[in-house]
Amino acid sequence: MTAQETVEHKYVYDFAEGNKDLKDLLGGKGANLAEMTNLGLPVPPGFTITTEACKAYLATGAEPAGLAEQIANHLASLERAMGRRLGDPDDPLLVSVRSGAKFSMPGMMETVLNVGLNDRSVVGLAAQAGGNERFAWDSYRRLIQMFGKTVCDVPGEEFEHALDEAKHARGTTDDLDLDAGDLRELVDAYKKIFSKHTGRDFPQEPREQLDLAVRAVFDSWNAERAVVYRRQERIPADLGTAVNVVAMVFGNLGADSGTGVAFTRDPASGAQGIYGDYLANAQGEDVVAGIRNTVPLQELERIDKKSYDELLDYMARLERHYRDLCDIEFTIERGKLWMLQTRVGKRTAAAAFVIAGQLVDEGLIDLDEALHRVNGAQLAQLMFPRFQLDHEFQPVATGIGASPGAAVGKVVFTSARAVELAAEGEAVILVRRETNPDDLNGMIAARGILTSRGGKTSHAAVVARGMGKTCVSGADELTIDVPKRRFMVAGQTVGEGDVVSIDGTTGKVYLGEVPVSPSEVVRYFEGEVDPEATDDALVKAVHRIMSYADASRRLAVRTNADTAADAARARRFGAEGIGLCRTEHMFLGDRRELVERLILARDPAERDEALAALLPLQRADFVEIFREMDGLPVTVRLIDPPLHEFLPPLEQLAVNVAVAQERGEDVAKEEALLAAVRRMHEENPMLGLRGVRLGLVIPGLFAMQVRAITEAAVECARQGIRSCPEIMVPLVGAVQELETVRAEAERIIAEVVGGSEVDVLIGTMIEVPRAALTAGQIAEAAEFFSFGTNDLTQMGWGFSRDDVEGAFFWRYLELGIFGISPFESIDADGIGRLVRIATEEGRAARPGLKIGVCGEHGGDPDSVHFFHSVGLDYVSCSPFRVPVARLEAGRATVVTTGSDSR
């Protein structure tokens, strides 16, 4: 590329040149400012510096060639449009410099307001404002504070301390009580703080301020809190941020000015109406930071009806245009309404379902799009429990229900303490006056967030809603003393470690642990709530979308269940069979003694006696499960773990024997057990004598299980229960293993079934990499495959799951080696390739081969989409995740067929 071509690369776009579909290039904020400009809404003029410029800067540490000149040209155009020059001493143009990535990252990157103010232009700004010196000096102190903290890393606490001292000297706690003289002195104090930490005076050249602010926004893409947020939200790290340079409009010019945030529907519940916050005589960061408590948006009708009516009109237009809930920031400057930002609004899980249904009813979207706009993670949130309140529990405070849910935990007052206790397994509630982006790690670690300041649009509220965390904000009855790690409320003192309960729906705060009860959504899935008869909008919305998902999906959804109770619940939740019934779980409890007898058998007769005792117990288990799954398939995995897992640990047995010997007690049985455990001890039991190997080494073990399964099926048939058993052989690595087991199983099945109308399938788990790579051979002896993705991931990666997740996965996630644990979501490139190979080669050898997955990946939303794309027939997961899998299987079909998605 020549130097001339580099200069000509377009890095800066005027708002009139973009649109909402250019988010990759202009970021979400820039694209939406351009869209509002094109719609004719009152947007302050400005321009956007592209994400490409950011990526070039971050790659080299220097601005790309031509960027400075393009900024100068667009700044000149902006000055002509406004009739003012940046930082002019007599009639200054001021601008804001704001970040704006493709995906919303609220509060994670930087913003600088009032760029262009200096010691001379502050006088011109006062004249512009009709002699309002207080406004001008307030704007200047805000610039020094934001610029110092954002651009030059000056500790924000020092500015806050100086502000507190100024208010104390005035004898007030309200910023608005400071007059122009107070603020002029505060500016001098801020300048001294700036010089102390930077070694230079506050920059007086407006263009230098602008250039440094742009670089600071670029750099903020890699700030720690931004990196943590991207990792939490799975946002790619290579997108970069755009920078928006916008002519300043002022909400802090007096009582006829103000700023606010509006939602076209309630982002917490989805209810239609007017929702948002307004703060008179303030700039935008005052609302988001929660520094002063806001009034409900409806109050604006009383304060300024003209602006209120205009705002409602623009809100309606934007919602129709975007076909979704819109989140809007606005400022009123002396009675003139300006639209500063819009975006498709973050919402709670409940609101996502309710709004999707409403928009279908309004004809703005179809059911395909409605299904696309909700997801399994949101549905899982809705299945969490809620508080079960009675007269014993009275709230000690009521704030704003900012993000719904019920959270109980120990009080902590710092992000670091929240992370520390959460790592120890403690449930914690993070309590702050207001949160800021530096609290992100603590917010992630906490079960819930409680603040004494702010509203539904404060930092705490927005971030908590995005994470699905319970949040109560603006609980101003709390007096929080962070240094002493306590808060006072209702005459009581609550210290760190005390337990509180917060309700993110009602905003109520309770002392102590409040019991919880199931959600209405769970009651609906349990069949306890009639969706046609209920008035619950959420239940109706979930029913409608789930019904459409079921009608749309190709994948069947089964469950992993080892008991009749689990099977029954899973069926109520919509399971279409059992994809994994683990027989080893049936050997625990009272039956452990029989397993010991099997292990300690001295000859075939004793072994057969132990197996014969287990047979009727196993048979009874299967009868119960088949009865619950009447007419649906049940895949029973033959015993998989090593037998020594049913015995006490080696160290415990050795100690018991030594102690008993010391006391002179009879230790014959214990010694025999100890000898057996030592004999069976393996350095790596997960790769040792287990699964099919166990069945081949211990005569009669698999035979007993096959007989129990078949006899149960025959007994059910006599009772009019239609069973569909599928016997699954685990850990097969070679077709010869399966052929050996199959031959014996077929003989037993034929013997037991006789003339009964019982059909028993025989298949295998594909969980050993070699099995995946020789699936064509194995399919010749298997009537079905089921991928055991837990073990396949362990063996494919060479990981021991029980060891690695705590040992080093955190570091892999931190370094970006993993975006998410491969045990949580399928590794599509590696383990997924094995799944794809085995599916293709298995069906090539046996057309129509039934294939499913029974690892916990079967309930992971992203993994379900992958299994759909590979062509599996079903996924299987724990009962509680069955609804999630059903929803995602429907969404996978919609996405595959190309829905009209936003």
List active site positions: 459, 854
User: Are β-strands 850-853 and 874-877 bridged in parallel, bridged antiparallel, or unpaired?
Assistant: parallel
Per the CB < 8 A criterion, the answer to whether 816 and 750 are in contact is no
Structure tokens belonging to residue 314? 């623009």
Read off the DSSP letter of residue 65: T
Distance CA 484, CA 494 (A): 11
Read off the DSSP letter of residue 488: E
Q: Residue 120: enclosing H or E segment and its boundaries?
A: none
Per the CB < 8 A criterion, the answer to whether 888 and 371 are in contact is no
Find tokens 């973009």 and name the residue. 18
Q: Alpha carbon 85 to chain centroid distance?
A: 45
Per the CB < 8 A criterion, the answer to whether 721 and 767 are in contact is no
Structure tokens belonging to residue 770? 């070699």
In the sheet with 295-296, reading across from the earlier edge strand, the strands are: 295-296, 272-280, 258-265, 326-333, 336-344
Please choose, from the candidates 443, 468, 463, the residue with its C-alpha nearest in 3D space to the C-alpha of residue 374: 468
Structure tokens belonging to residue 885? 């899998």
Structure tokens belonging to residue 710? 């078949």
Per the CB < 8 A criterion, the answer to whether 137 and 178 are in contact is no
Please choose, from the candidates 805, 827, 733, the residue with its C-alpha nearest in 3D space to the C-alpha of residue 772: 733
- Using a 10 angstrom Cβ sphere, with 0-12 exposed, 13-18 middle and 19 or more buried, the burial of residue 117 is buried
**Cα distances (angstroms) measured from residue 234 to each of 107, 820, 843:** 17, 8, 34
For the stretch 133-160, what's the b/e string if a residue is b when 16 or more beta carbons lie within 10 angstroms of its beta carbon?
A: bbbbbbbbbbbbbbbbbbbbebeeebbe
Distance CA 349, CA 773 (A): 41
Per the CB < 8 A criterion, the answer to whether 822 and 797 are in contact is yes
Q: Residue 449: enclosing H or E segment and its boundaries?
A: strand 448-451
